[in-house]
Amino acid sequence: MSNRSTNSTTKISTFILTIIYVVFALSAVAVFVAIGAFYQGEPIETTISLMAIGFITMAMAGYILFQSRKRMASLKTENPPVITTIECAKCNIKTTREFQRGDYVFKELEPCQKCQDQKQMITAIYREVKEKEKPVTV
């Protein structure tokens, strides 16, 4: 049930898509008629008007389609990788790996590969964020 509702939320409505495609077709027709009018010796104003109508509607339909797709893309949240830092208290070796379910800070893990007798420990779990915001200068 939840899958169905999620899919319906992430799809662009068929109705809107149909309208966009119809507008695209009509604007293409307007451009062709403008070209025809030019070769048939119609006044230049008619050609320009039809050409303008064709391109403007085409641009508007394209913009609406682009916006709809952008909205869909904005719904998907990105999950940056979560890093687990593992340390050995005796030889101070620090390693990192991707987070695994069951990890927690100060969890004891298997003995250190170097000094063998000391158990390794998780000392930090974090995610690194690439800052999108511009630094504040005021």
Q: Are 104 and 117 in contact (CB under 8 A)?
A: no
Which amino acid is residue 74, in one-letter code? S
Q: Binders of other proteins among 71-110, rule CB under 8 A?
A: 71, 74-75, 77, 79-80, 82-83, 99, 101-107
The least distance separating other proteins from the CB of residue 2, rounded to whole angstroms, comes to 4
Q: What angle do CA 34, 35, 41 make, to 5 degrees?
A: 90
The least distance separating other proteins from the CB of residue 40, rounded to whole angstroms, comes to 18
For residue 126, state whether it binds other proteins (rule: CB under 8 A). yes
The least distance separating other proteins from the CB of residue 138, rounded to whole angstroms, comes to 8
Taking alpha carbons only, the member of 105, 55, 59 closest to residue 84 is 105
Radius of gyration of the chain measured on its C-alpha atoms? 30
Q: What does the binding site for other proteins look like in residue numbers (CB under 8 A)? A: 1-3, 5-6, 9-10, 45, 48-49, 71, 74-75, 77, 79-80, 82-83, 99, 101-107, 124-129, 136, 138
